[in-house]
Amino acid sequence: MFRLDKKNAIVTGAGMGIGRAIATTFAAQGAHVIIFDKDRVAGGETAERIKAAGGSADLIDCDVSHGDSVGAAFAKTENEYDRIDILVNNAGVAHVGNVENTSEHDFDRIYAVNVKGVYLCTRAAVRRMVKTGGGVILNLASIASLIGLTDRFAYSMSKGAVLTMTRSVAVDYIKHNIRCNCICPARVHTPFVDGYLKQSYPGREKEMFKQLSEYQPIGRMGEPEEVAALALYLCSDEAAFVTGQAYPIDGGVLVF
């Protein structure tokens, strides 16, 4: 079950964190993974890890916030592969702040990557998938798209847009055999979290890590591999009856 043999899967922002976990998991299940990342060092490291484990992967330089870059990346992909079976819109950036202390620059930065980036990559993938008989699109949203979170104004805005884009694509392209879903994680332990704690709470990292972990009723943060396991299901043939849905993976946040 959950094999992705002979499938080509694009994963954006796969240089680290959740994106890397998804890329390596998909490759382990037989997919050829095409990494879209503007960080060639981090993306290259993910590709090498996949190859060292016996998997198949390529790296394509891509800044998802720029249409020309996305267009060039998809053109290269289409020149080398006969079809795109899976697109995972994982690339994203975070921001801490409420509406008053979110600058216009910060708002535009979040929008460019988290919203425009999903739009640009989805549009390019859908055009190809329509021609080749279908495919799967999976977006990384957040519990911030489902509930209000303190000091996450711009981030929540962006992930709310990801949720509604997911449902719009699912409705518009169901007759073209294209499924589209999104995952809504709570806090996941990634390098971003460690960097944020080091920068914002120097000397108090352990204390704040414990506090952030206990926000989830289950008592810890999620792991990237756990998100990747859900992504694998949603992109596999076993989930062929699932589209237009938002899947929380939240350690009980939405229940308690």
- Other C-beta atoms closer than 10 Å to the C-beta of 33 total 28
How many whole angstroms separate alpha carbon 180 and alpha carbon 158? Answer: 17
- For residue 178, give the nearest of 118, 242, 115, 232 by alpha carbon: 242
Strand partners, 247: 183
Conformation bin of residue 177: beta by default, left when phi > 0, alpha when psi is -120 to 50 = left
- For residue 17, give the nearest of 251, 236, 196, 179 by alpha carbon: 196
Q: Is 136 helix (H, G, I), strand (E, B) or coil?
A: strand
- The DSSP line for 52-115 is HTT-EEEEEE--TT-HHHHHHHHHHHHHH-S---EEEE-------B-SSS--HHHHHHHIIIII
Catalytic residues: 155
